[in-house]
């Protein structure tokens, strides 16, 4: 806490270089990464819903034929 207060009061923040425009939040690179992340989340949701509606065979318990022994 004291280091942060000294950083502000001694104005050391003026000597730090700003972040490159490539890595800024509104840059094309970061916007593209955000869009890919959002797309991957939508795909995960769609796969989850599809698996709930129509489960795959690997999650179903094995079906054994009924035996007719009495």
Could you tell me if residue 37 is inside a domain? yes
Are 13 and 19 in contact by the 8 Å Cβ rule? The answer is no
pLDDT tens per residue across span 4-56: 888 888 888 788 887 777 777 788 888 999 999 999 999 999 999 988 888 76
pTM above the 0.85 mark? Answer: no
Domain that holds residue 39: 29-54
pLDDT of residue 21: 76
Could you tell me if residue 43 is inside a domain? yes
Could you tell me if residue 18 is inside a domain? no
Could you tell me if residue 44 is inside a domain? yes
Domain count, the chain: 1
Could you tell me if residue 50 is inside a domain? yes
Are 23 and 29 in contact by the 8 Å Cβ rule? The answer is yes
């Amino acid at each position: 806490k004291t280091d942060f207060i000294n950083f502000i009061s001694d104005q050391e923040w003026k000597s730090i270089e700003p972040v490159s425009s490539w890595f800024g939040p509104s840059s094309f690179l970061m916007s593209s990464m955000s869009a890919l992340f959002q797309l991957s989340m939508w795909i995960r949701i769609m796969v989850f819903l599809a698996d709930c509606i129509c489960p795959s065979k690997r999650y179903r318990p094995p079906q054994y034929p009924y035996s007719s022994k009495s």
